[in-house]
A = this chain, B = another copy of it.
Amino acid sequence: MSEKVTIYDIAEKLNITAATVSRALNNNPKIKQATRELVIKTAAAMNYKQNKLALALKSGRSNNIGVIVPRIDSNFFASVIRGIEEELYPHGYQVIICQTHESIKRENENLHTLVDAQVDGIMMSVTGISDENDSAFRNVLEKNVPLIFFDRSKHIDGVSSVTINDFKGGYLATKHLIDEGCRNIAHFSGDQSLDIFKNRFLGYKQALLDSGLDFKEEYVIYTKSSVDAGKESVDKLLQLQTPPDAIFSSSDFAALGAIQELKERNISIPSEFCVAGFSNEPFTKFMELSITSVDQSPLEMGRMSARVFLEQVDKTDAIKIEKKVVLAPELHIRKSSTRTNF
């Protein structure tokens, strides 16, 4: 039987109306117990399945939420999504995935598509900053769709966010390098218009100053998050008059590239040069020369985003809460930066 069974079919069979069937199935207290049981039994016998689309149209709620990420095939984003899915699953929400591929045009398209698809909420990591095109975001908020940023966030009224304390992450990593005896610490940063990179940078700077070390502009390299970019950046650094003796990289991939390039040049790690990364990608732990990195607890970030959404979704429009959750980063100290016994 591939025929779809509706409440009308059940009603017809029992010689009652669809309204009664609907009420019986929805535990409406006005229904006689006998009728309810009969309806429920019949529905089961006929293999009735509620049509969610009809329900969604009537209620205006699709029970879908949208997640927008730059790309899904990175351990960090995949883990966040895992967290979101796990937290939302018991509540009956389905998770729709969109990728921006770091394109703002695509980001806007995704936002519109999700709103058009009547998702009940959107969680996203923004792809970059462009001041004027807030229109797509505003459109979301005007439609009263809860919007939550995770990790990469923007400052928009009415939008909650779940981030980690990137400043502290940068500070911890840098402080650790200093404690290991490094005195000329360089920094790989990313697009400074994104808060995450800005704050990691500021944490780095503050750690230097707090320890009485000079901050040198030339030690800061703005680089992409890739192995090759890391190699090139090390190359630049080593050409300086006073080359650094450590790098705090905002990207694990760039950190890996740096390490590969340093090895190539027979600079020994960690005795001559220390490296710390950011994100705690799986490979940092697996390397023979394991890489020190700042963990962002992506699973928890996803779970927390979902929880913030759940809080938000039931509130009436009047009580708009704007929640800013900041998770604590955790420094995983590994061989790439450990001169003392390990």
Contact = CB atoms under 8 A, between A and B. Distances in A.
B53 A62 contact: yes
A81 interface: yes
Given A2-B144, A96-B95, A287-B286, A82 B73 contact: yes
Contacts of A265: none
A285 B62 CA distance: 42
A32 interface: no
Interface residues of A, number: 50
Contacts of A26: none
A207 B60 CA distance: 59
Interface of A: 1-2, 4, 49-54, 56-57, 60, 62-64, 71-75, 78-79, 81-82, 85-86, 94-99, 113-118, 142-144, 227, 256, 263, 282-283, 286-289
A116 B72 contact: no
A191 to B, nearest CB: 22
B96 A64 contact: yes
A287 B86 CA distance: 31
A51 B56 CA distance: 11
Given A53-B118, A117-B94, A142-B1, A72 B78 contact: yes
B73 A116 contact: no
A19 to B, nearest CB: 19
22 contacts: A2-B143, A2-B144, A51-B118, A52-B116, A53-B53, A64-B64, A72-B81, A73-B75, A73-B79, A74-B78, A78-B78, A85-B98, A94-B113, A96-B97, A97-B97, A256-B286, A282-B283, A283-B283, A283-B287, A286-B286, A286-B287, A288-B288
Contacts of A74: 78
